[in-house]
Structure 1
Amino acid sequence: MAEAAARPRSPWVVLVAALVGIGITSAAGRWQYRKGATKEAQHRAMLERSALAPLPQQELARSDEQAAAQHYRTVRLHGHWLAARTVYLDNRQMDGRPGFYVVTPLQLAAGDAVLVQRGWAPRDLRDRSLVPAVPTPEGEVELQGRVMPPPARLFDFGGVAGGTIRQNLGLAAYSREIGMPLRPLSIQQATAAGDGLQRRWPAPAADVQKHYGYAVQWFGMASLIAGLYLWFQLLKPRLRPSVSS
């Protein structure tokens, strides 16, 4: 029994384990690298499109393809807030603090609406069910902002999809909920409105170095596995002095 327990593992088992480890860590490294490169490309597009003249309201995208071509453009809008439809997106950070993104549909003259990310507000750390009161003017308002994709989705444990406080907000489902078509994008409001909300929106490339750093770590682990395999399975056995019988 002791001899069986001490029997060395088959070199094929070690080879397969090494290849699996190298494959997993290399794939993770490539994923992090692609994510960093995507954010860099988004940042370049934002800089280029932000320098363009503000987008006229009548040209605001109505399809996904048009919206993708308008992301990061500035736009001036006129419309009416649908204040009763305001939603607080939970677990959103600004400057490292937990809080909400306050989003409200803005009804446009065309009869449809666009989702506006109005700003960020801190959460009440003593009572998570409380939301800050955000004054919303009645009548027609004018605002300037940046065309963006819909609010980013966070991991959801299957909580309540409706209500004032939500983890995520899907445009299609929300459009059915409010009974009004929504443009396939959102607007990050830039103009101050005296509502107490903060608007230091993070740039797409703000954490790009984090992804590149993770990529280096994963590629380093893949190299380490390969190096250990080469040393212990190929090089070290050949360097052992032969033992005369």
Structure 2
Amino acid sequence: MSARSAHARFWTVTLAAVLAVAATALLGRWQMQRAAQKQALEDAVQAQGALPPLTAAALAAAVQAGAAQTGPLLHRRVLLRGRWLAQHTVYLDNRQMQGRPGFFVLTPLQLEGLPLTLLVQRGWLARQVQDRTQLAPVDTPAGVVELSGRLAPAPARLLDLGGPAPGPGSSRIRQNLDLTAYAAETGLALAPWTVLQTEGPGDGLQRQWPAFTAGVEKHHGYAFQWFALSGLIALLYVWFQVVRRIRPWPGNAR
């Protein structure tokens, strides 16, 4: 190899190494920024949960003021009194709690003395092994009940291969639930969020809801991988383009 071609090769490799180190370092930095954003989100959610519980009257006032559309009340604790609308109970299938598949049980709660209904994620119900469409009975008191929980968005949407959302008269077992479509189906004046029930009347449902997490650890892991790759590229460049040139292997020193 001529000196000129070797020189051109050296600078080509150098440019490629510099670009690769810079790109991977920037990706690692971006992942750290994403982790900081997610950490700020987790801190905000924890701060919301530490605030005093909201009453039903405060929720109704927030809906009338339009505050619910921007979600500033999400993750706030609530104390509610109302009546279950058991005829509109739905069961979301393929939902897990503590690693077991089953149903999330959702029932609307008509707030006492207020023209507002909240869809409550009451808890988790185990699925029958022999017949997955067989629903175990859930105790739903007919009178006024008191419960506590926290405001939450609609349940996470799962992959649904069954086509469009079910209409009126469909099975109570659903794969997903859209609040707008459900409100149109039932004719209820639903609030734009749900309530994740934490305490209330004994009904046999499990409520070991997972704590909210924004996935900060995932971004830290990605950042470590990018920074490690950046360092590896730099190390390999120094070894092959600098050290090997200064101290060639005995077999290459001919």
* Structures share fold, TM-score greater than 0.5: yes
The reply on whether 1:124 has 2:128 as its aligned counterpart is yes
1:44-88 CA deviation, whole Å, 9 max, x = no partner? 334333333321211113246566222222212222212122122
CA shift, 1:148, in A, is 1.8
Q: How does 1:220-235 map to 2 (within 5 A)?
A: 220=227, 222-223=229-230, 226-227=233-234, 230=237, 234-235=241-242
Partner of 1:138: 142
Partner of 2:74: 71
Q: Match for 1:169: what amino acid?
A: L
Partner of 2:50: 51
1:182-237 CA deviation, whole Å, 9 max, x = no partner? 111111112232210111211113x8464245324542564367448736885587
Q: How does 1:23-102 map to 2 (within 5 A)?
A: 30=30, 34=34, 37-38=37-38, 40-60=39-59, 61-62=62-63, 63=66, 65=68, 68-102=71-105
1:81 and 1:106 in contact (8 A); partners too = yes
2:103 and 2:124 in contact (8 A); partners too = yes
The reply on whether 1:190 has 2:194 as its aligned counterpart is no
The reply on whether 1:173 has 2:181 as its aligned counterpart is yes
Partner of 1:114: 118
Distance 1:75 1:229 in 2: 57
| Structure 1 moving runs of 4+ over 4 Å | 25-33, 64-67, 207-210, 231-245
Percent of matched pairs sharing the same residue: 39
Partner SS, residue 115 of structure 2: coil
CA shift, 1:117, in A, is 0.7
Distance 1:158 1:32 in 2: 36
C-alpha distance 52-127 of structure 1, shift in aligned 2 (>3 A): same
Distance 1:235 1:126 in 2: 68
Partner of 2:226: 219
**TM-score normalised by L of structure 2:** 0.70
Partner SS, residue 174 of structure 1: helix
Number of residue-to-residue matches in the alignment = 231
1:29 and 1:218 in contact (8 A); partners too = no
Q: Give 1:200's match in structure 2, choosing from 198, 208, 212.
A: 208
C-alpha distance 158-214 of structure 1, shift in aligned 2 (>3 A): farther
CA shift, 1:179, in A, is 1.4
CA shift, 1:169, in A, is 1.5
Partner SS, residue 190 of structure 1: strand
C-alpha distance 115-222 of structure 1, shift in aligned 2 (>3 A): farther
Aligned alpha-carbon RMSD (Å): 3.8
Q: Match for 1:194: what amino acid?
A: G
C-alpha distance 135-65 of structure 1, shift in aligned 2 (>3 A): closer
C-alpha distance 223-72 of structure 1, shift in aligned 2 (>3 A): same
Pair member with larger Rg: 2
